[in-house]
């Protein structure tokens, strides 16, 4: 599929979802079960992206001290948990990764 078509369809779907209940309000109430399910979308989607990035940086499972991405991710998780600060979390994770990669001669 052409990248422009992908962008147009992806953009149309995104706009449609943002517009959905703004458009429907008053005409249609969201079923409670849908509302409940939607609450779990962010943690589910985000974790599905986070886990492979930390545990499979080279596309194979790597749970060892040699996995720089995993160690940097753990640091970021701790910082996010303690501070709830987005910028600090990104900085802490990125700096940890760069230092580990540099120490291992990978950069």
Residues lying near another protein in the complex (CB under 8 A): 1-11, 13-15, 17-26, 30, 33, 35-56, 59, 61, 69, 72-73, 76-77, 80-81, 84-87, 89-90, 93-94, 97-98, 101, 107
Report helix, strand or coil for 2: coil
Cβ(55)–Cβ(62) below 8 Å: yes
Q: Which is nearer to another protein, 10 or 66 (CB)?
A: 10
Q: Which is nearer to another protein, 40 or 65 (CB)?
A: 40
Q: Which is nearer to another protein, 4 or 65 (CB)?
A: 4
Report helix, strand or coil for 84: coil
Smallest separation, CB 101 to another protein (Å): 7
């Amino acid at each position: 599929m052409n990248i422009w078509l992908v962008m147009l369809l992806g953009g149309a779907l995104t706009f449609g979802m943002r517009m959905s209940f703004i458009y429907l309000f008053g005409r249609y109430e969201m079923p409670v079960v849908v509302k409940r399910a939607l609450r779990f979308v962010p943690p589910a989607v985000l974790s599905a992206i986070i886990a492979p990035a930390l545990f499979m940086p080279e596309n194979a499972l790597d749970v060892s001290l040699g996995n720089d991405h995993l160690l940097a991710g753990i640091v970021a998780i701790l910082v996010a948990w303690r501070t709830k600060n987005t910028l600090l979390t990104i900085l802490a994770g990125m700096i940890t990764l760069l230092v580990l990669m540099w120490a291992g001669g990978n950069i």
